[in-house]
Amino acid sequence: MFEFIGNLTFNFNRNRFIALFFMILGGILGWYSTILMTNESTVELPKPDTNQIFAICLGIIMSLLYWLKKCYSIQIR
């Protein structure tokens, strides 16, 4: 009856949450580095526009879905 709860703790442990954090952090850093490379060089750092903000939100959602998929397909040793 409670096997589902045991599977949740098995599939979602501390290391996997740390991996999710680094995955999202790496995606955000890559996203902002692309903004830095494509905007004109000025004294101030460029601010993302609404399309770029939408893209990072979509990217975070896709990273979360990818992480969930991998949590169920990658077995822990």
Nearest CA-CA partner of 35 in 51, 22, 52, 19: 52
Looking at residue 25, its pLDDT comes to 93
Looking at residue 74, its pLDDT comes to 74
The mean pLDDT value for 48-68 works out to: 90
Q: Which amino acid is at 65?
A: L
pLDDT 10s digits, 16-55: 889 899 999 999 999 989 888 888 887 788 888 899 899 9
Tokens of 53: 């903000």
Position 10 confidence tier, pLDDT thresholds 50, 70, 90: low
Question: Is the pLDDT score of 15 beyond 70?
Answer: yes
